[in-house]
Amino acid sequence: MAAAKRLLDNSNPDTNQPNYKRMRSTTPSFASVIKEAMKANFLENLSSALEPMLRRVIPEEVENGLRRYSCRSLTRSPSLRIKALEPSNLRLIFNKKLSQPIFTGSKVVAGGDDGQSLQIILVDTSGEGMVPVTLPYPIKVELVVLNGDFPSGDTETNWSREEFDKHVVKERTGKRPLLTGELNFTMRDGVVSVGEIEFTDNSSWIRSRKFRIGAKVVQIGNNQTTVRITEAVTESFVVKDHRGESYKKHYPPALGDEVWRLEKIGKDGTFRKKLSSKGINTVQDFLKLATIDTPQIRTILGTGMSDKMWEVTYKHAKTCEMGSKLFMAHGPNYELILTPICQVVRAVINGQIYPTHDFPGIQKAYIQNLVKEAYDNWSSLEEVDETALLTQGEPMVDEYPNVHQQQQPMIRSYQQNTILTDASEQLVECNGWIGNPNYIGYTC
């Protein structure tokens, strides 16, 4: 009975009692639930909106902080403090142009006859010209391949690192690295030699059809550099497939080069086959016959070689270097000294030395026959050195002393060929060679 009464009393609580107020305060209202839900949704949306901004701003601030710290540390070194304030004054340069043409699989070297490796030099451009400089720390340098169009006109001499990196060319998909070899090295004392490097692919597949080689600084001392050193860039060049290297011409050609190394004569062409059928296989063979009998070699080549083509081929052939060797042909009453291409250097007939520009009619025809005979028996000629020839002593005395005194011969050395001449001789230039029009074997 008492329990039922208590239950009845609890079913209608007195709102004025303190316990009732506490119970009401712990039960959330519908409005408060909606309010809390809206607040949570707002915070979630705000977080989603701020996240990209924070991701971008925080790394930038960290990087700025590191840069400020690095700059403060650089101020401790007076030499680096100046370079940090004036970064555009320092740049790398290649000391020479490249030797061209460049083929895949072949070593890239500097231009010139020596075929030396490239060198990279650190210079200061703040004054007039480019003055080589050094840093107190070693510099790590990396070689990369650039598009031949870089740099553009507005950044021809001064570009940013970002612009430089944007024009780096990578290998084609599925191909080997475009440039292989020693691509990373350390520069000390402001200069470093480039090791063996070579291209593995040609340049025909990019828009400019040309490459450049660039050298950039990746580190100074033991820390990543914050000093701006402008990158070195070579001239633009074409890289050809190595299969074309075996067909390239030589400039200048050597006497022992195969005759197809000359302009207008193909490696497997008709001209080469015609010449080969007559025993003319080298540049020296070509020039010897051209010297003693130009019409004959023109006949061998046939009408397919026009006058204009002949001029190009012959001019190219005559740029070859003669060297210092001479050849002696002699008989019972004569002695001839010839260049490697059958030009007469000295003629001694019956003990008399004849100036090569002034043979009397009978002797001139006679000597020309002797030269042709020497050509036909070239393998039997005796090799003599030009220096030894000049130190043999006094020339043989002829049987006409009075004439000899009036026309005293002398030995003149010119372009590695020794030419007998006298004071009245007139030399002319022809296609880059100097000679006498009356000189036996001289053709122009």
**Tens digit of pLDDT for each residue in 342-362?**
998 888 888 888 766 666 666
Residue ranges of the alpha helices (H) in 75-177?
78-85, 161-166
Q: Which residue has the higher pLDDT, 333 or 12?
A: 333
| Phi, psi of 99, deg, nearest 5 | -80, 125
Residue 345: predicted pLDDT: 86
> pLDDT (tens digit, 9 = 90+) per residue, 88-126?
589 999 999 998 889 898 899 887 655 678 999 999 988
Q: What is the pLDDT of residue 363?
A: 72
Q: Which residue has the higher pLDDT, 338 or 62?
A: 338
Q: Supply 404's token pair.
A: 């000899």
Helix (H) or strand (E) holding 284: helix 283-292
14-40: pLDDT as tens digits: 555 555 445 454 566 767 767 776 776
Nearest to 132 by CA among 124, 142, 144: 124
Per mean pLDDT, which range of 71-75, 287-291, 423-427 is the poorest? 423-427
Say what the pTM is: 0.43
The string of pLDDT tens digits covering residues 224-243 is 556 789 999 999 999 988 76
Query: What per-residue confidence (pLDDT) applies to 220?
Result: 81
DSSP 242: G
Which residues lie closer than 8 Å to 78 by C-beta, 6 or more apart?
none
| Residue pair 260/237 in contact by the 8 Å Cβ criterion | no
Q: Once rounded to an integer, what is the mean pLDDT over residues 382-386?
A: 80
**Locate tokens 């009464």: which residue?**
5
d(CA 105, CA 179): 10
More confidently predicted of 51 and 328: 328
For range 155-160, the mean pLDDT: 75
Terminal C-alpha separation, the chain: 148
Cα dihedral across residues 58, 60, 64, 66: positive or negative: positive
pLDDT at 326: 92
Query: Could you report the per-residue pLDDT of 304-337, keeping only the tens digit for each?
Result: 999 999 999 999 999 988 888 899 998 888 898 9
How far apart are the C-alpha atoms of 444 and 441, rounded to whole Å? 10
Output the average pLDDT for the chain: 75
Q: Which of 283-287, 349-353, 409-413 has the lowest mean pLDDT?
A: 409-413
* Structure tokens that stand for 59 in this block: 């790394």
State residue 186's pLDDT score. Answer: 93
Beta strands 211-220 and 232-233, pairing class: antiparallel
State residue 291's pLDDT score. Answer: 92
pLDDT given for residue 140 in this prediction: 93
Among the ranges given (26-40, 266-280, 341-355, 400-414), the one the predictor scored with the smallest mean pLDDT: 400-414
**Higher-pLDDT residue of 47, 227:** 227
Q: Average pLDDT for residues 136-154, to the nearest whole number?
A: 89
Question: In whole angstroms, how far apart are CA 216 and each of 109, 131, 142, 153?
Answer: 19, 19, 5, 20
